[in-house]
Copies of this chain bind each other. A is one copy, B any other.
Amino acid sequence: MSRITPLSGFPEWLPGPRAAELRVLDLLRETFELHGYASLETRAVEPLEQLLRKGETSQEVYLLRRLQADPSADSDDALGLHFDLTVPFARYVLENAGKLVFPFRRYQIQKVWRGERPQVGRYREFTQADIDVVDRGTLPGHYEAEMPLVLGEALDRLPIPPVTMLVNNRKLCEGFYRGLGLTDPAAARRAIDKLDKIGPSGVAALLAETAGANDAQAKACLSLAEIETTDLSFVDAVKALGIADPLLDEGLAEMVTLMETAREYRPGGVVACLKIARGLDYYTGMVYESRMAGFESAGSVCSGGRYDNLASSGSQTYPGVGISLGVSRLLGVLFGADAVAASRPVPTCVLVAVADDAARGAANRVAVELRARGIPTEVSPSADKFGKQIRFAERRGIPFVWFPGADGDEVKDIRSGDQGPADAAVWTPPADDLRQTVITRF
């Protein structure tokens, strides 16, 4: 086997980090299901024309081709790997609309792929965890308040640093730009989206260039983007800028509803942050990003928003709202900083020692008994000297070694060296040792 080298952008975890990831996925799932979100998985591929509906990400798609296929034959119905879970979900809703009950709530935890050029810190394959609510015709606004709270609750249960949810509203900003006299609000939004990258003066230049803003208009746009409050004072701050527009008022009202709900259920954990723009064109209401304490430079770990026009079939539209957590990205950052790890790399709690080859049967029976009571157990690979079997447990991270004996069994905690009599029918490890847990250092 030649050329075994990692592929840039395709992260793979060792067993320890993978165990921590699994724990994170379990907690996400648990929270989502508590809120009534049903699990879904969609196929990895979509017709290329579906994937390109969003437009701007077309360069990132991986196309599929059968190795033996006639290269020209596939061109009509080209398939590509999905680059997010929203586009496939919208397609799934349309395809199964007759079999779903609306408003439909689902969570989806899957890999996505982006055909990026290899680049440090850029993943080409990664796991996302999404929740969305989609309705038929109209979607009540209270779901826009629900999203950052459900995901916030999930994040609060994870072994990660505190995450603040940042919210903004497309109507608010577009109404503001319009009230300001700008005729291309989308261009203004895209300029503001670059604020963290190119700074206020860069954005001002861009606003002039792409949105036709004069100095006063650019200054007003930047003033709006500066507003960030944990309470409802953003309303006065916006009004102080002196712009009037019905769409602005609508957006402000939606923000107030969300922030009032958030104040009750996640006090201080949801922030009105009026520079949040989101790149994607299809958002039409609330938009979400986030900030992880101590890891602000890593950028937003979850984001999303309301989309009224992503899925439609004839005259029927399916407005939705969703939020997406970049699990691989989040954990990549935390693993990289050694901030999160598994308590041990293996599920195994007990290694049953084997005195000699004839004793393997007896060792197996102990293992069966322990497993029947939910204790993860494996039997020593070989009948080496006990010292060697203990060292094997040590290297594998197994905390207990069990010695079957004719006159009764014994179990050793190999960390403390404590050893004593034990009965496989009743012995129980300390709760913290039963399963792998996650250790945090931040």
Interface residues of A (CB under 8 A from B): 1-7, 10-15, 18-19, 22, 33-45, 47-50, 53, 58-69, 79-81, 90-92, 94-96, 99-101, 103, 105-106, 111, 113, 115, 125, 135, 140, 142, 261, 264-265, 311-313, 345-348, 360-361, 364, 368, 371, 374-378, 381-382, 392, 395-396, 398, 435
* CB <8 Å contact, B65 and A63: yes
Residue of chain B at shortest CB distance from A40: B18
A157 to chain B, nearest CB (A): 12
Contact of A43 among B36, B66, B92, B125 (CB under 8 A): B125
Known: A66-B115, A94-B1. A125 touches B44 (CB 8 A): yes
A344 to chain B, nearest CB (A): 10
* CB <8 Å contact, B65 and A58: no
A54 to chain B, nearest CB (A): 12
Known: A14-B96, A14-B99. A37 touches B7 (CB 8 A): no
Known: A14-B96, A66-B63, A80-B67. A376 touches B35 (CB 8 A): yes
**In the complex, what distance in Å separates the CA atom of A265 from the CA atom of B363?**
13
* CB <8 Å contact, A22 and B44: no
Contact of A92 among B12, B113, B313 (CB under 8 A): B12
* CB <8 Å contact, A101 and B396: yes
A427 to chain B, nearest CB (A): 16
A134 to chain B, nearest CB (A): 12
Residue of chain B at shortest CB distance from A97: B4
Contact of A10 among B1, B39, B45 (CB under 8 A): B45
Residues of B within 8 A of A377 (CB): 34-36
Residues of B within 8 A of A311 (CB): 1
**In the complex, what distance in Å separates the CA atom of A63 from the CA atom of B69?**
10
Residues of B within 8 A of A94 (CB): 1, 4
Contact of A50 among B1, B66, B113 (CB under 8 A): B1
Residues of B within 8 A of A48 (CB): 67
* CB <8 Å contact, B63 and A6: no
* CB <8 Å contact, B79 and A7: yes
Show 30 A/B contacts (Cβ-Cβ < 8 Å), sorted by A. A1-B91, A1-B312, A4-B95, A6-B95, A7-B43, A10-B43, A11-B43, A12-B41, A12-B42, A14-B96, A15-B38, A15-B100, A19-B38, A34-B371, A35-B376, A35-B378, A36-B376, A36-B378, A37-B347, A48-B67, A59-B67, A61-B67, A62-B64, A62-B67, A63-B64, A64-B115, A67-B115, A69-B115, A101-B392, A103-B381
